[in-house]
Amino acid sequence: MVELVYNIILKMNFIYNKGCDEMVYLTLNQLNDDSKAVVMNINGGSNLVKKLNALGIREGVVLTKESQSFLRGPVTVKIGQSKIAVGYGMAEKILVKLVDDR
Amino acid sequence: MKVLLFGNPNVGKSVVFSRLTGTSVTSSNYPGTTVEYTEGYLRRGDEVFHIIDVPGTYSLEPTNKAEEVAADMLDKGDIIVNVVDATNLERNLNLTLQLLERDVPVIVLLNMWDEARHKGIDIDKDKLEELLGVPVIPTVAVKGKGILDTINIITSYDFDNYKGIKKMSNEERWSYIGKIIAEVQKISDRKHTFSDVFDEITIRPLTGTLFAVFVLIFSFLLIRIIGEGLIAYVTEPFFNNIYFPFVNYLSSLLGGQGLFHDILIGHLIGGAIDFEQSFGLLTTGIYIPLSAVAPYIIAFYLVLGLLEDTGYLPRLAILMDNLMHKVGLHGFSIIPMLLGFGCNVPAVLAIRSLESEREKFIASTLTAITIPCMSQIAMIFGLLGSFGMKYIVYLFIILGLVWFVLGNILNRVIPGFSSDLLLEVPPYRIPSIATILQKLWLRLSGFFREAIPFVLLGVFIVNILYITGIMGLINHLAGPLLSRIFSLPEEAITALLMGFLRKDLAMGLLVPLHLSAKQLLVASIVLTTYFPCIATFSVLLRELGMKNMLKATLVMFITVFLVGGFTNLVFHEEGLSLNGWIIIILLILLVKKFPEGKENRLEL
């Protein structure tokens, strides 16, 4: 039952996310909801790298994108056990590569 | 001996602190509750331990104010208690290893041990102890578990044999953490729980926005119902049945008139004491904070406590991020602003955790100008609410518009950069009633300490000014201005003056003037937007500095005349006139056309 409700909610919200999975490198906000990716590069200054690093977002780490708010809203990602919201501007600077786990 | 509590934000350091020292401090389920450090003492036999709750930090390389405070504290400690979130070991170990690289001895607390278990996370405590080379204690701070062990280990710590680990680069550290995790942590797969489903509902944009609207309306109604209920069934009966005979007796004892009587009891209205209008120290001075305002303070902090401790607020911050960027802030600033509805003072203090000067200025100015505190809202409910709920709705619509338009303008004219949201989203937790009540009590007693003296002082000053005739003079001098721009009677100047001391008292001064609904609406708007009360003013001055404070004050005065005058012009008994709406829409369009470009989202 709980599983069912969970899937329905995922489906309902999917309509609002148009990502594209064809490209090899994507920015975090181009990634589809619920897809797994590995961080390839953080395209920003040392301050940004430091901030993201402190929260565990660093090159080589595998994350799952949870959701994206509409109109340049924040991206929520899951890394290990923690969930982190990354503002749109920052998410644009995080380059990731899709991990195919199917 | 100095004991420092170090850890990531939102791992329960403050709870450990209260458990160790027996002092109560506020804790919430979102990162950044503690911005300044808190000190306390733990006595153990003859020995006294000085315990310091350091603001949460993810790393020892500071990226914001709270983290700077944390990094500066480090060398002052004799021993560090590193509080670690057991449900999130990997990320937390980053700080732990950085602490071990320094020379100060460390103890590691694996807090939220029960929650980790519940989530299917199994940590080999002994193995971790061996790998880190320091004592590791599983704790559940909210329930007090493991606290005794912690005290025992602090008191019997073997300082001489402490050896940390060698300094590492970021990459080395993360790969070492990877090794540790592989050895000590096992996560068993589990099915989605109700909490996961709920999380999805509230965080995903479509369902989340609907839910947020529901939460905000529900909170507002809940506050109103609890507040009204407490007034109708608790404070009013108490004042009318128990307190009234007492002051009445005192009044007759003093002879019903005279200087003392006027100051203590006030004027008799129609031959009897009227708690709202008599304006004596023992009548209105006690009645406003205790009977009219306190019930709403209780209601507000109860609801806020629930929102804080469940962990809903960070989700609200994510959903609000878009809107907040329009005013040059990011989603997290919604939290200080919500705090502002309780009292602007803690709101301004919480604004400290924002990154840039620009954000701090915009957030403090918007909070001080457009967010009425609960003390004032309680009085507005009582006064304006008696004309009908729609006026209160209008008040909040107008304040909301001011917030949006003013925020947009500030965003476009103030130079500097604004940062982007980067926020850890804590899991939902079922709040403990005891913690919520304790926090409520802490905030309520804070309210009593702040409000009662200031209201009494205000009542006293008003009486003196009236008795000496100074008030009449001020009324005559400044009154015409007030009546021309805002259509308020000249006596309303007293309310504006007392607004410096307390906004609830200022609203109380409007009661005897018998204003119309429209006049009350204008007065409520003017009192909200114009100068902050003295408590808020002093923290603003401290946080912003003299120059920015003057700028904020200038913005305030312009806003108050424009908005108060505007409302006075376009508001009719039935609502805003068509012209008014047209002007508002044009204004919003105009703001959109305003030259963009001062905002730079990130400093890179």
Domain boundary among B133, B162, B187: B187
Tokens for B240?
Answer: 């009318």
Q: How far apart are CA B575 and CA B502, in angstroms?
A: 29
Of the candidate ranges B154-168, B356-370, B459-473, the one whose mean pLDDT is the lowest: B154-168
User: What's the pLDDT at B30?
Assistant: 62
Domain boundary among B187, B219, B247: B187
Q: Is B109 within the bounds of a domain? A: yes
Q: Is B434 within the bounds of a domain? A: yes
Higher-confidence residue of B72 and A7: namely: B72
User: What's the pLDDT at A87?
Assistant: 92
Cβ atoms within 10 A of the Cβ of B479, count?
17
Spell out the alpha helix ranges (H) of B417-491: 433-468, 470-486
Q: How far apart are CA B32 and CA B35, in angstroms?
A: 6
Is the pLDDT score of B396 beyond 90?
yes
Q: Is B604 within the bounds of a domain? A: no
DSSP string, B268-336: -BTTB--TTTSB-TTTHHHHIIIIIIHHHHHHHHHHHHHHHHHTHHHHHHHHHHHHHHHTT--GGGHHH
Q: Is B69 within the bounds of a domain? A: yes
Q: Does B75 touch chain A (CB under 8 A)?
A: no
Is the pLDDT score of B279 beyond 50?
yes
- Residue with token string 């120059």: B547
A2 to chain B, closest Cα gap in Å: 7
pLDDT per position as a tens digit, A25-37: 889 988 888 889 9
Is the pLDDT score of B573 beyond 90?
no
Asked whether residue B121 falls in the same domain as residue B213, the answer is no
Q: How far apart are CA B60 and CA B37, in angstroms?
A: 16
User: What's the pLDDT at B577?
Assistant: 79
User: What's the pLDDT at A16?
Assistant: 44
Q: Does A24 touch chain B (CB under 8 A)?
A: no
Q: What percent of chain B has pLDDT over 70?
A: 95
Instruction: Name which CATH class applies to A2-98.
Output: mainly beta
Q: Is B196 within the bounds of a domain? A: no
Strand partners for A38:
A62, A97
Give the burial string for B40-55 (b: 16+ CB within 10 Å, else e): bebeeeeeebbbbbbb
Domain boundary among B145, B162, B187: B187
pLDDT per position as a tens digit, B427-445: 898 888 888 898 899 899 9
Average pLDDT score over chain B: 88
Question: For residue B85, what are the domain limits?
Answer: 2-187
pLDDT per position as a tens digit, B180-236: 999 999 988 776 778 888 888 898 888 999 999 999 999 999 999 999 999 999 999
Cβ <8 Å between B420 and A86 = yes
Q: Is B197 within the bounds of a domain? A: no
Strand partners for B4:
B52, B80
Q: Does A85 touch chain B (CB under 8 A)?
A: yes
Domain ranges of chain A: 2-98
Residue B160's domain is classified under what CATH number?
3.40.50.300
Asked whether residue B83 falls in the same domain as residue B126, the answer is yes
Asked whether residue B232 falls in the same domain as residue B124, the answer is no
B247 to chain A, closest Cα gap in Å: 57
Asked whether residue B102 falls in the same domain as residue B19, the answer is yes
Amino acid making up residue B102: R
Domain count, chain B: 2
CA torsion, points B162, B166, B169, B175, in degrees to nearest 10? -80
Closest CA to B383 of B283, B489, B468, B509: B509
Asked whether residue B307 falls in the same domain as residue B441, the answer is yes
Cβ <8 Å between A69 and B61 = no
Q: Do B360 and B451 contact (CB within 8 A), yes or no? A: no
Closest CA to B535 of B283, B349, B299: B349
Closest B-chain CA to A52: B422
Sorted by sequence, the CB contacts under 8 Å of residue B443 that are 6+ apart come out as: B26, B297, B301, B342
Asked whether residue B166 falls in the same domain as residue B284, the answer is no
Average pLDDT over residues B297-313: 94
Tokens for A70?
Answer: 């509409």
User: What's the pLDDT at B598?
Assistant: 47
| Angle (nearest 5°) at CA A27 between A23 and A33 | 85
pLDDT per position as a tens digit, A49-100: 988 988 889 998 999 998 887 778 899 999 988 899 999 989 999 999 988 7
Highest mean pLDDT among A16-25, B148-157, B519-528, B567-576: B519-528
User: What's the pLDDT at B25?
Assistant: 66
ipTM of the complex: 0.82
A9, A53, A80 member nearest B204 (Cβ) = A9
pLDDT-derived band of residue A19, with 50, 70 and 90 as boundaries? very low
Cβ <8 Å between A87 and B421 = yes
Q: Do B273 and B244 contact (CB within 8 A), yes or no? A: yes
A89 to chain B, closest Cα gap in Å: 7
Q: Does A89 touch chain B (CB under 8 A)?
A: yes
pLDDT-derived band of residue A17, with 50, 70 and 90 as boundaries? very low
Spell out the alpha helix ranges (H) of B156-204: 170-184, 194-203
Q: What residues in A contact B321, CB-CB < 8 Å?
A: 69, 73-74, 85, 87-88
Asked whether residue B234 falls in the same domain as residue B122, the answer is no
